[in-house]
Structure 1
């Protein structure tokens, strides 16, 4: 079982728009649904779970129905942070029980909105993906699944083309990385369901909880595990700023031209 967990709970403050960025329309379709399309159309994905802002749950459910997104099993509310949101999705995928609410190990009580009929097995592969990364290539999804089968996890990345500098005080350069060894983190990040759910529960037991846990790879490494890279695609950007919207439009035009005329760069 291969499951896409798409989290789209951000408020999009850096976008400066009047509504959350995942609901901005690009070429007549909301960014979130450009993203969902990638997994709906991929033959290797069996199920999709989505988390979003509570006020938009009904809207997403309606769009799922209208768009006939048959792989979408459930739409639930987001957590207090990105990692809280991912945890809720993992728990939702692990146990489908419409009468349960789950009390988490820290100070957060998560309500699960559940409607599915049966549980997903522990060895299901889950692909954690940002709702505002709408241009991941189909072969990257496939490489993630194969990476989990081979190594137990797969972290999508892409080589950094520019030199990355580290500065603790945002003024003095503390370190300059070797560009040949530097990668940009992307999504999906993929794991066996049981492994990543267990990792989240261990992190939640710590007094500091999710502090500095920027992604699932960080969680695994904090617990002493190894994470393994798979190569992503350059167009797999996270839409965060207005400039990113224009970039995504350009990628969509490029894709359309390539499919229609066989054109490439």
Structure 2
């Protein structure tokens, strides 16, 4: 079984929106979150989706999921106080009713430009290697600054990759790693890849599309909208 755990619990503070969090902003009348959910729901290899959401938006999520007929959403659960806690709650929900050898794909609700081919490659990577961290190549120089805010180490760009999502594992592995983190009070991992790396799991990478951006700031939102517009225009002219 292949399960997508979609995290849509952010409050959008860096987006500076006054009306609603970024995952619920509309592009051509459709919320960003729905664009994301549709990619996974339409994928033939995805069996179920668990959506982790802000408690105050659960009713709204149910409404838009019904409106847009996202049929594979199995559960909508309340997130936690942090990203790590929210992901664990999603994994715990999956663990309660899915086989432990299921493949789980952890994805941000505000990464709507993930594509079907990458999801397929992620699933196959977990089957072959036990994990899949979606990445894209670094396109600018990466530096490590020193304590004086000066340039310290300049990394070789050809050796650098940007970790994105989905981040994919066997359910038993990622769930047990989260349990270990809770037992040791390690609650500050920035993402699942960091947590799994800390506990000694080997992480295989899968190259994803460069446009697989996380919508965090207003400029990200405008880039997403521009890409959607460009794709629609290409469809109109038959390309």
- 1:258 maps onto 2:202 in alignment: no
Aligned to 1:195: 173
SS, match of residue 133 in structure 1: coil
- 1:126 maps onto 2:104 in alignment: yes
SS, match of residue 214 in structure 2: coil
Counterparts of 1:11 and 1:260 in 2: how far apart (Å)?
Answer: 35
Q: TM-score, normalised by structure 2?
A: 0.96
Match of 2:139 among 141, 154, 161: 161
Q: CA deviation at 1:66?
A: 2.1
SS, match of residue 220 in structure 1: helix
Aligned to 2:10: 10
Match of 2:187 among 210, 215, 218: 210
Q: CA deviation at 1:260?
A: 3.6
Counterparts of 2:5 and 2:134 in 1: how far apart (Å)?
Answer: 15
- 1:86 maps onto 2:64 in alignment: no
Counterparts of 2:214 and 2:132 in 1: how far apart (Å)?
Answer: 18
Aligned to 1:231: 207
- 1:186 maps onto 2:164 in alignment: yes
Counterparts of 2:40 and 2:201 in 1: how far apart (Å)?
Answer: 28
Q: Size of the alignment, in residue pairs?
A: 238
The superposition leaves residues 238-265 of structure 1 with CA deviations (integer Å, 9 ceiling, x where unpaired) of: 00111111100111122223334343xx
Counterparts of 1:169 and 1:4 in 2: how far apart (Å)?
Answer: 40
Please list, as runs of the form range in 1=range in 2, the aligned pairs for 1:20-39 lying within 5 A after superposition: 20-39=21-40
Match of 2:155 among 177, 181, 184: 177
Counterparts of 1:152 and 1:172 in 2: how far apart (Å)?
Answer: 39
The superposition leaves residues 56-110 of structure 1 with CA deviations (integer Å, 9 ceiling, x where unpaired) of: 0111012112222110001111111111111000000110xxxxxxxxxxxxxxx
Distance 1:25 1:206, change over 3 A: same
The superposition leaves residues 109-145 of structure 1 with CA deviations (integer Å, 9 ceiling, x where unpaired) of: xxxxxxxxxx211111110000000000110000110
Cα RMSD over matched residues? Answer: 1.2
Counterparts of 1:177 and 1:201 in 2: how far apart (Å)?
Answer: 34
Aligned to 1:62: 63
Counterparts of 2:45 and 2:170 in 1: how far apart (Å)?
Answer: 15
